[in-house]
């Protein structure tokens, strides 16, 4: 990742502020080629808060992470497990 940019830290911070159980937020990154895939895990009870109505919250998270990563010259994909 580019200096000053941590996709894992960004997703972790955003997710922890959205859920009721922030201590159960886990973000794992795997890199291949020029892109990174982030796997976001939250408590089962908090998945609805991360997904949001009609998927709007997870879509917004993906948009923010993608925009910041793009600005840093990276490609990042965010998945919810």
pLDDT per residue over 34-78, tens digit each? 889 999 999 999 999 999 999 999 999 999 999 998 888 889 999
Of 54, 22, 23, 5, the closest CA to residue 38 belongs to 5
Domain that holds residue 43: 7-80
What is the domain-level CATH number for residue 38? 3.30.300.20
N- to C-terminal Cα separation, the chain: 23
| 2 is a domain residue | no
Whether 49 is covered by a domain: the verdict is: yes
Whether residue 1 lies inside any domain: the answer is no
pLDDT of the residue at 72 = 84
Strands (E), 1-81: 26-32, 35-41, 75-80
Name the band, by pLDDT with cuts 50, 70 and 90, for residue 21.
very high
Number of domains in the chain: 1
């Amino acid at each position: 990742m580019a200096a000053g940019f941590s996709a894992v830290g960004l997703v972790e911070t955003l997710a922890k502020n959205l859920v009721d159980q922030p201590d159960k937020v886990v973000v794992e990154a795997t890199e291949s080629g020029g892109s990174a895939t982030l796997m976001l895990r939250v408590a089962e009870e908090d998945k609805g808060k991360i997904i949001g109505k009609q998927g709007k919250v997870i879509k917004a998270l993906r948009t923010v992470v993608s925009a910041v990563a793009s600005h840093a010259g990276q490609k990042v994909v965010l998945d919810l497990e």
